[in-house]
Structure 1
């Protein structure tokens, strides 16, 4: 398993590609998603995998088709005669005619059959799981339903999605090298479909919180799961950028305590310590500065 076609897009995938490169496997082609406009300026920006490929001097073997079903894609991959195709958060479903070219191995960021689908990392945090991990899976036409080749497990207690993405990408990179080196000796294990669960693609609206109806534990889980993007925010668009669950109890929406870190706000079922906040159209500020600007103090109500 020395000749590899790699398919991946975000930073999770770039860590895997980097490890394959460092292990001196022969990378025949790198498939990633097309460059996309980013930010207010809508500047055309390459995905993380392409950025790494450029840094490694592999930009001449980067391919960015809008769809793997485009004319010539299957023919190109087949002409390379790869031993294996490694897939990591590519962002497209591989059609049957590509799956048939060579063994396709996907590095999925969950312990399958749990969390098949687009958001396994965030979903594990939302469900307040203590454990997650990475599964190396032989791909088939189903949604993350192929045979298990190997897996690694991690304690994820208290981690936000950024931290977990980073740790799982390192685990996935190491697992990839192990699978490539031992592929011929691996005995695949069929997934137990009855225990499977699916997770959906995350939308911006998923970050909306309601202090009156959302339980304190739900708010905490959303903050960790949606850290960075889409973040958590109120119906008025006020974003909570940094927070932790507190141990005070009191009226929902009232300032229950003040500290050097921020202010403690009553929510449904408990309270949260808000450390950094951003009002609509404003720059992020520390929580104390936010209160000073609003002339609010202990016992006052905060409208989020």
Structure 2
């Protein structure tokens, strides 16, 4: 959805879109029904006159089709593939990246900003080069943290902020002096996998930050496969036996950690439906003082 928000905002800002290049539709669900990208769906529903290209790879045929659109600039948002030099040479390629570069180059910058509990969130527009997220900076936009954001909320806010930044960069491109990144300050982040959602009750704040960063996918879960939902951070300093059930009420269960305590609203056992934490504990005959695992 990040790229869709950017595309929609650029059109609202009066940027002329000569074509959309997006990933091919992918099988989805039990019946493997083809699912279009969010950007393709948006164009088909709102601007069907704009050409859509869906190359499996950016080969010579795809590059010729893109060149035929005669773009002045190429805007790259969440495309997910390395661009060949021939495309970079076709027109200036401007990438919107979800962090304040050179911090968190790579595939999961939003998650990393949440996991590191940053006080400032931001996005960067860079002039792309042959390497990953190393191009000169054309603009940065940011905001001070005013509350805890999960990945979905932060993505929505940064997408709009980034779209407005990209529109400004496009409109003022001739007057912008690119700023080289300080590569000595670079940090990196990897693509998120399901295994990243594994947590234990050693540190309440770390569990809470993972819950925010990995919402809605992959979520957070214990080694048993038990998934945790609706997590609140109760404290960061208390010391408890890991997983000890402290209280149970209609709002959920409070659980002690070696450092801190959490409130958990809902639980989901492997292969089961998500239920209220109180109902789950009742079904398992767990009470205050027992261990949630």
Query: TM-score category by the smaller chain?
Result: over 0.9
Partner of 2:22: 32
Shift of 1:199: 0.7
Task: Give the alignment partner of residue 2 of structure 2, picking from 3, 9, 12.
Answer: 12
Partner of 1:265: 255
Within 5 Å, which residues of 2 pair with 1:131-280?
A: 131-156=120-145, 157-211=147-201, 214-247=202-235, 249-280=239-270
Runs of 4+ in 1 over 6 A off after TM superposition: none
Partner of 2:118: 129
Task: Give the alignment partner of residue 295 of structure 1, picking from 285, 288, 292.
Answer: 285
2:29 and 2:163 map into 1 onto residues whose CA distance is 29
Shift of 1:59: 6.9
Shift of 1:37: 2.1
2:3 and 2:133 map into 1 onto residues whose CA distance is 16
Q: How many residues align?
A: 290
Partner of 1:21: 11
Task: Give the alignment partner of residue 58 of structure 1, picking from 48, 71, 79.
Answer: 48
RMSD in angstroms over aligned alpha carbons? 1.5
1:205 and 1:268 map into 2 onto residues whose CA distance is 22
Q: Deviations over 1:244-292 (max 9, x none)?
A: 1123542222211123321101122122111111111111112122122
Shift of 1:241: 1.9
Task: Give the alignment partner of residue 65 of structure 2, picking from 37, 62, 76.
Answer: 76
Indicate how the Cα distance of structure 1 residues 258 and 249 shifts in structure 2: closer, same or farther if over 3 A, else same. Answer: farther
1:76 and 1:41 map into 2 onto residues whose CA distance is 32
**TM-score when scaled to structure 2?**
0.94
- Structure 2 residue runs without a partner (length 5+): none
Partner of 1:3: none
